Structure 1
């Protein structure tokens, strides 16, 4: 019987516009398995299937879009006004996200991979630090983050600042991080910093496991 080795689980997070997704791309391009928790979450309601049907059963056909998925605008209006509805939607989404992530981790174990990385935008807001052997945080200057989101996502400044206000502060991120990646220069510099941070974390965790 083949014994599967559980891969080391690493958490990656950062505030809106920090460049966290870019770091995830860099690590993925380097051959590491990066699990995008936000993508799994969106897929529950944006792809026809069990998650959509469960939400429709709970909230009603009026929340089904013309494409057969969830009408996000209508659902947002409901859940922002109704805490019970929000809690029910979170249970529907999170249970399916957890199942999808577990499947990816099982695939990684079967493939003999030593590492899985969770790209998790709300890792600290949801207090999930203890779920990981190490947490890497991407930091960038506030004004750089605002201008990046305005440019790349077409959002206005008020929107970006409102999201920032709902997230943990950079000081809280620094306190929670095992390793920081500073996104304060060009893409080449960020790539070098991201790869160095990941290698450092792997060496430190492997050393500690041998003690």
Structure 2
């Protein structure tokens, strides 16, 4: 019975994740008549007020649903052991490692046609709703600094491009833009290797002829 409750709670993450209240529109604004403006008829004003009333009720309903959902999720999480909690948390955050916009394959060898080399680490949160702190702590990589997980060894990035969105963040490191580069290798941490599903800690980039 307990396992069923947990499954139902976690499944609700996918169902309710899109239900977040919209910004409430001011209810005390009424159409005004001014020079050059068309006055709103009594019937039109009544319809507008009814629409505003419906929107306010919808917002209250969504807020209540989100609050109930978060309480349910907290209750479900409290019944998970550390292994299952970690597995669930990690499913909420995905990581991708790309070289020139192509995902690094499991064997870690990438061939490129031309310079420069752009190594990009992308992190994406799978839901737009606020999650309990436990999920963030166990779902994300242990360090916010990508260079804790990417070791470029002898190569120094010539440029770094950071993009930070609501649910997607990326760090791109540029090589070979100012100086010739035939091949390069870099290391990734064991933690990142596991999250990416790679078979190796070494990524090798080779420029094709």
**Rg: which structure is higher?**
2
TM-score (norm 2): 0.25
Q: RCO higher in 1 or 2 (8 Å CA, sep ≥ 6)?
A: 1
- Greater helix proportion: 1
Please identify which structure carries the higher strand content: 2
